[in-house]
Structure 1
Amino acid sequence: MNSLAARPAHPSSQPAQPAPAPRPAPRTGQGTALPAGTEPRGFALYVGLDEAAAATDGVSLNVIVDALRRTVAELSPRAETYATVALAPQQSGGRDIDVVRLALKEPGAVARAAADKPDHNRDLGVLVDISRKRVVIDGESAALTYKEFELLQYLVLREGRTIDRSELVDSLWQADDGDAPGVRTIDVHVRRLRSKLGRFEDIVRTVRGVGYRFDRHADVTIRYGAGAPSPDRF
C-alpha cells in the first residue's frame, strides 16, 4: 500500500468550506414576509357551503368537517383543530364564502365591509392602524404614547389569546429600562391606555387573575398595511 496515499492532505490543500447561508425571514404561504415579531401558529380554512347545497352533493356540513379533521390528523397527528359554523341572516346576498368570512369576522372581510359603508359611517368606531402606528377613534386621532400603542398592538396581534402580565412586561420593556413596570404596575399602563380609548375601553378585556385580551369587536377595524397579512392568515 502506498503510504503517501494514506496520508491526510495538508490543511491548506483542503477546499474552503462555504459560510453557512443566513436563515431567511419567515414567510407566509404566499411568499410574503411576516410582520416582525410574529410567527405562524396555524391557519383558518373558510368554506362557503350551506346545508341545502351540501345535501345536493349527498353530504352534510358535519360529514365534511369530520373528513377534513381526519385528513389533518393523518397529515400531522400533532395538529389541533377547531370548527365553528358561520351563522348569517337568511337570504344574505353575495357569495357564500364572502358571507362566511364576514360572519366569522375574518379581518380582510371586515375591512372591506367597513370600506363599503356609506361615508357618514366610515369615521365611527376605532381604527387601529398598525402600519402607521396610530389609533383613530370616531374620526379623531387618539393621543397614545409610543408604549401605549405598543401595548395595544401586542394584544391586537394576538387576538383572542389571554396575555399574562409578565409576558407583557418582558416583551415590551427591556430589563434595564428606567420606566419598566413590574407585573403589578403594568395595570397602570393598561388603565391609561383604556382611558384614551374612551367609550371603546372594553376592547382591552381583563381576564381576572391572569392578564389581558383583545377580542374582535364590530366597531374596530385593524389596518395592517399594504401587502401585510393579518396575524391569523398566511
Structure 2
Amino acid sequence: MTREILVVDDEPDIRSLIVLHLEREGFRCRSAASGPDALREAAARPPALVVLDLMLPGLDGLEVCRRLRADAATAGVPIIMLTAKADEVDRVVGLEVGADDYVVKPFSPKELVARVRAVLRRARPAAGATPVLAAGPLTLDVARHTVTLHGRPLALTPKEFDLLRVLLEAAGRVLSREHLLNRVWGYARADEIESRTVDVHIRRLRAKLGDVGSRIATVKSVGYRFEEE
C-alpha cells in the first residue's frame, strides 16, 4: 500500500520540492500551506507521516504538533519538523511537544526522503520482536503497537514507543545515548543537540509513565537503564 505524507510549509517552492522528491520515491502526498489547513487535512484523513515546517501562518509548527498529539486520531502519526539552522532552541522545544525527528533548513531532498523512510520503518514492529513486554503495571504490545498502564491505554508518540521498547528489551542493562540514538533515531553518531534529543524524550516518557517513570534511571555520563523489579 502506498503511504501518504502530509507536507506542511508556507513556501510554495519548498512545498513543491518536497512533494516532488517524495512522489518520485513512491509516496503519495497531500500538502497544506498553514497551520489551520494542516490540522484540517490531518483530521479529514490521518496521514502516515507529517513533514511540518516550524514557521507557519495562522498557527506555528509547534502548536500544530501539540494539537496533533492531543487528538487521539493523530496522536500516533510520526512528525518530522523542518527548522531553520539557527533555531537550536526551537528544535529542542519541537521534540518536547512531540516531534519525532527534525531536518535543518537548507536541507538535501535526499536526506529528507531518507529520514522519512527511516521514521516510517521504525514505526513498524520489527520482525522477530518479543510480542509483549511487561514491567509491573506497564505492558507494551509490539505487534499491536499499544501500551497500557494500570490496565488503561497510554498514548505515546512513535519515538516514545520505540524508546520505551528498547529500554524494556534491555531491562537491567545500561544503554548509552549513542546506542539509543542509533536504535531509535538511526543516527550513526551523536553530537550535542542529538544527545539532548534523547534526554528530552526520556524526560517526556518518564512524565507519561507516572509512578513507573522512576524506573528509568539516569546513569551519570553514560546513559539510561530501565530498572528491573
> What is the TM-score with the length of structure 1 in the denominator?
0.37
Give 1 or 2: higher helix fraction. 2
TM-score (structure 2 length as normaliser):
0.38
Query: If you compute each CA radius of gyration, which structure gives the higher value, 1 or 2?
Result: 1
The structure with the greater share of residues assigned to strand is 2
Higher relative contact order (CA closer than 8 Å, sequence separation 6+):
1
